[in-house]
Structure 1
Amino acid sequence: MAPTSETLTAERILAATEEVLRRHGPAKATVVDVARALGVSHGSVYRHFRTKAALREAVTQHWLDRTSEALAGIVAEDRDPALRLRDWFTGLFAAKREKAGDDPQLFATYQVLIGENSAVVERHIADLTGQLTEIVRDGVARGVFDAADPAVSARAAFDATGRFHDPCYAREWEQPGIEADFEAVVVLVLRGLRA
């Protein structure tokens, strides 16, 4: 193993882990493979992630966080909440479609990892519904939306659009007419929230 000149960081380990998972799949990828890809000992990886399970959980969280981070900018914008809500759902659908379509092998790998890390998925969904709650709450404050409990309405809107972001529907995302179906659901959600 050749020594590496770069400082070993959690971020570098996660990037290498993703590459190893892409090459070997979740069943065959090991911490030793990750260490080899980084040019370090497996002990160096374990100093950042105490177990293989912790590493797999962290790489899954990192993968899901990229979607949350991309959508956070929409939440923070100071403009019409209805337009932000539409853009947020459009962004979520686009991000999920991109993950499924651009790298199907890695997407399948993450489906396995997500199954192993239900707490990570729960945190991801809580983050996403928290973002939606902020938009709905802002819409209520501006008189655009009518929601007695913005968190309940946000969760209902998230659940209503599940076909367009829940990975179990990934095979449908490239079907003809999916954009029209998406638009119909988003329009329905927006009408339901209008003040």
Structure 2
Amino acid sequence: MDKISLDKETILNATEEIIRRFGPDKANITDVAKLLKVSHAAIYRYYNGKTDLWNAVTERWLTRLHAPSNNILKEDSPADVKLSNLLESFVEAKHNSAINDPEMFANYIKLAQRSMEVIKNGIEEGINSIEKVIVQGITEGIFFTESPYQEARSVYLATSVFIHPNTFEDPDRKQNIESVINLLIKGLKNSNK
């Protein structure tokens, strides 16, 4: 492969393929370089080692996972409807990933455990998205709170239980998600706080 055609996206695609093939524990930069037919030094021009590259793969996965949520933020709908859609999108994203690509999902769970800064950024992004919808709801007169960020953090924490793989097989999962989301939205609508 030409050095000209080597870029971060190409490296990330190859890294995903190597991780899929060998798993995150056994895969390494040399494997990625071999797949791309470049020296491992060429990879180091773009990433400062395995941790940096694996973090970039994890970050890209989270970005893909949250893409539908970003579209929900652009919807022209009342804040309570938008918040319900956003929360359902958050909790279903990983569930769908686990169903549609279980091998990569398992690999990403391992990667995520090592990429705590990337995960913290992803959580903060989720909280900020919820906060935007809560602020919209305050403006619309639907939600009542003096601390949109703190409420958003609480909403995120309350629904985060449903992103854990242990909940994926629960036959009542969908009903439980809806119940929690409805309860949270009722709480935000309560003007007697």
TM-score by length of 2: 0.92
Partner-residue secondary structure (3-state), 1:27: coil
Instruction: Confirm or deny: 8 A CA contact 2:84 2:181 kept in the other structure.
Output: yes
Aligned length: 190
The match for 2:51 among 38, 49, 53 is: 53
Cα distance in 1 for residues equivalent to 2:68 and 2:36: 28
Is 1:184 the counterpart of 2:179? The answer is yes
One-letter identity of the residue aligned with 1:124: G
Q: Provide Cα deviations, 1:119-161, integer angstroms capped at 9, x if missing partner.
A: 1110000001000000001100110101111111111111111
Is 1:170 the counterpart of 2:168? The answer is no
Partner-residue secondary structure (3-state), 2:24: helix
Cα distance in 2 for residues equivalent to 1:107 and 1:69: 17
Instruction: Confirm or deny: 8 A CA contact 1:99 1:107 kept in the other structure.
Output: yes
One-letter identity of the residue aligned with 2:175: A
Distance 1:116 1:5, change over 3 A: closer
One-letter identity of the residue aligned with 1:44: A
Q: Provide Cα deviations, 1:84-139, integer angstroms capped at 9, x if missing partner.
A: 00110111122110122222222221122111111111000000100000000110
The match for 1:27 among 25, 28, 34 is: 25
Match of 1:67 in 2: 65
Match of 2:15 in 1: 17
Match of 2:75 in 1: 77
One-letter identity of the residue aligned with 1:111: I
Cα distance in 1 for residues equivalent to 2:23 and 2:60: 17
Instruction: Confirm or deny: 8 A CA contact 2:91 2:160 kept in the other structure.
Output: no
TM-score by length of 1: 0.92
Cα distance in 1 for residues equivalent to 2:169 and 2:4: 41
* Structure 1 residue 68 displacement after superposition: 2.8
Partner-residue secondary structure (3-state), 1:161: helix
Cα distance in 2 for residues equivalent to 1:63 and 1:116: 14
Give the alignment's Cα RMSD to 1 decimal: 1.5
One-letter identity of the residue aligned with 2:182: V
Cα distance in 1 for residues equivalent to 2:37 and 2:96: 31
The match for 2:135 among 111, 134, 137 is: 137
Unaligned runs of 5+ in 2: none
Match of 1:122 in 2: 120
